Amino acid sequence: PSTGPTIFTAGATTLCQDSPDETYTATALNSTSITYSVLPVTAGVINPTTGVMNWDADFSGTATITATSTGLCGTTSANMVVTVNPYTGPTIFIVGATTVCQDAPDETYTATALNS
């Protein structure tokens, strides 16, 4: 019988930068093996047999995990697009007095953080 369509059954589609390893799993009817790959290569390293993805700590953006199923009568593949959101940087105050007197009028403080 022909190899059925490859379908992802597990794996996150949205992660935060420097996330722990994530396992991607796919299945296909009549397949004898499934291999995994990732692009861009700067996203990290995926185990081609187990689908365990080790995300590069510096990567943020979009990556594509590909699962390729091979059977006796053909090969099929599927892609899963994963968004890796950048981490939020440290909070920094950019406006506001550093010293105030008792009973002073209200003071406005403004803070910012990278990727917030």
**Tokens 């296909």, residue?**
28
- Where are the domains positioned within the chain? 7-85
Task: Check residue 111 and give its pLDDT.
Answer: 85
Task: Check residue 104 and give its pLDDT.
Answer: 84
Along the 116 residues of the chain, how does pLDDT read in single tens digits?
A: 899 999 999 999 999 999 999 999 999 999 999 999 999 999 999 999 999 999 999 999 999 999 999 999 999 999 999 999 998 878 888 888 888 888 888 888 888 887 77
Q: Does domain 7-85 have CATH number 2.60.40.10?
A: yes
